[in-house]
Structure 1
Amino acid sequence: MSEWKAKRFWRVTEIRAEAGGYGVYLDGRPVKTPAKAPLLLPTEGFAEAVHAEWDAVGELIDPTRMPFTRTANAAIDKVAHQKDEVADMIADYGGTDQLCYRAEAPEALRARQDAAWDPLLDWAEATYGARLAVTSGVMHLAQDAAALAPLRRAVHACNPFQLAALHDLVSLSGSLVIGLAAAGGRQDPETLWALSRIDETWQEEQWGEDEEAQAHAALKRAAFLHAAEVWRLSGDH
């Protein structure tokens, strides 16, 4: 028995400005989330991205080809209803930020990490007043609560759409600082993604590339870049 799939039922896709944001309409009917909440987007740019996905639907609706719609659904149906919990989960990455854990050896890898990651930690201190400590090896290093507090406040200040984006920026990179740097425009997302993968790149240089690992990394990179675009489109609401 073949799996049932929803078919396109509309002809005209449009954006309408509404109180508190923008909606996407199909033949005059508003798009809603899976939980039946209004799909209200925070900016016109975000609405345009969602509109483009619905307008591009062929005969069948394929959610895997609608990443902005999926992220909006998650922000509205999930993040908005547990905003503090999600913000705390993201902020907790500051206590184990990968930028703070450097290689004991070889010296060349450590030098590469220092050159790439120290400027990001300097940026976090200059921007948020958060000076995170650095250690060698993988043993847990307890960070000063006073250093983590401003980073936590920055995360909690985000709206649900920004939190949905920041969650992926942070979890995919393993770094709260890199996630905030992507959100804050410290460097372009492609560069920041590359900086998050210094260890993996080093291993590839030493032992060669693994096809399966490369494919997995490509998916993570695409998700990271998507999250950066979601943040850009989410505005300051």
Structure 2
Amino acid sequence: MSEWKRKRFWDAATVEAAEDGFTVLLDGRAVKTPAKAALILPTARMAEAVAAEWAAQGEEIDPLAMPFTRSANAAIDKVRPQQAEVADMLADYGDSDLLCYRADAPRELADRQAELWDPALDWAATALGARLEPRAGIMHQPQAPKALARLRAQVHALDPFRLAAFHDLVSLTGSLVLGFAAAEGWRDAESIWQLSRLDELWQEEQWGRDDEAHATAEHKRRAFLHAKDFFDFS
């Protein structure tokens, strides 16, 4: 971690074409990941975003102000070496997808879940070829194996950079379907994020807002929106 706390040592951050992608140069020297791997980015657009983060640094490097750099590092250092395992972990969300577990009471909440979540399940059935069925209550009920297999195959088809973004799209919402919906642009990312918070927003309406919980949700919201950008830039 000490590498991240060094003072700025460069003047210019530039982008250069490299084998299999693009890299970022600091005064002509290629940036590496924390694990010392070459920071090879899949698109010029992503490389420009990473370079802009390095160019915007002050006297000390602040990793919290470099979301594209951190996500790219994660894709290379963490996701790529265990890509199949990460894909399997995310695909497992399909069998316990947030959108499928519905309240049996109060009726108003159950109706709102059906109104807002059913269209996402319908979209997945058409666009992804996988119909997941809603269940009342919190007890696990397995989904159809064929539907889960189709979803799993599509997760495994993602490259390491998109898989790194997809990890956050799924884990932050608790929904494989919403992760795909965001990735594929079914609706704008903000609307999809709000769908994932339906239950929490209902509770706020009934009991008022918890400021600490709201702050945590806002942090996750920003991370979700960044993950969508990172996916698109890939």
1:154-169 counterparts in 2 under 5 A?
A: 154-169=154-169
Letter in 1 for 2:88: D
Runs of 4 or more consecutive aligned structure 1 residues displaced over 3 Å after TM superposition: none
Deviation at 1:141, TM superposition (A): 1.1
Q: Distance in 2 between matches of 1:212 and 1:20?
A: 44
1:25 is paired with a residue of what secondary structure? strand
Gaps of 5+ in 1: none
Q: 1:22 corresponds to which residue?
A: 22
Equivalent residue letter for 1:91: A
Q: Alignment length, in residue pairs? A: 231
Q: Which ranges of structure 2 fall in alignment gaps of 5 or more residues?
A: none
Alpha-carbon distance in structure 2 between the residues aligned to 1:174 and 1:7: 38
Aligned equivalent of 2:41: 41
Give the match for residue 141 of structure 1.
141
Output aligned runs, 1:131-210, within 5 Å: 131-210=131-210
Other-structure match for 1:31: 31
Amino acid in the other structure paired with 1:225: L
Write the mapping of 1:197-236 to structure 2, written as runs, cut at 5 A.
197-234=197-234
CA distance in 1, matches of 2:30, 2:213: 41
1:125 and 2:125 equivalent? yes
Render the CA deviation track for 1:78-116: whole Å, top value 9, x for unaligned. 101100000000000001001001110111111111011
Correspondences of 1:38-77 after superposition (within 5 Å) = 38-77=38-77
Deviation at 1:150, TM superposition (A): 0.8
Aligned-residue sequence identity (percent) comes to 61
**CA deviation map 1:99-155 (0-9, x unaligned):** 001110111111111011111101111012111111101010111111111110110
Q: In the alignment, residue 9 of structure 2 is paired with which amino acid? A: F
Q: Structure 1 length as normaliser, TM-score?
A: 0.96
Structure-2 residue corresponding to 1:96:
96
- The answer to whether structure 1 residue 112 and structure 2 residue 87 are counterparts is no
1:136-189 per-residue CA deviation (whole Å, 9 max, x = no partner) reads: 010101111111111101100000010100000000000000000000000000
2:206 maps to amino acid: Q
TM (norm. structure 2) is 0.97
- Aligned residue in 1 for 2:84: 84
Q: CA deviation at 1:5?
A: 2.7
Please give the secondary structure, in 1, of the residue aligned with 2:172: helix
Matches of 2:71 and 2:129, distance apart in 1: 31
**CA RMSD, Structure 1 to Structure 2 (Å):** 0.9
Question: Equivalent residue of 2:5, what SS?
Answer: coil
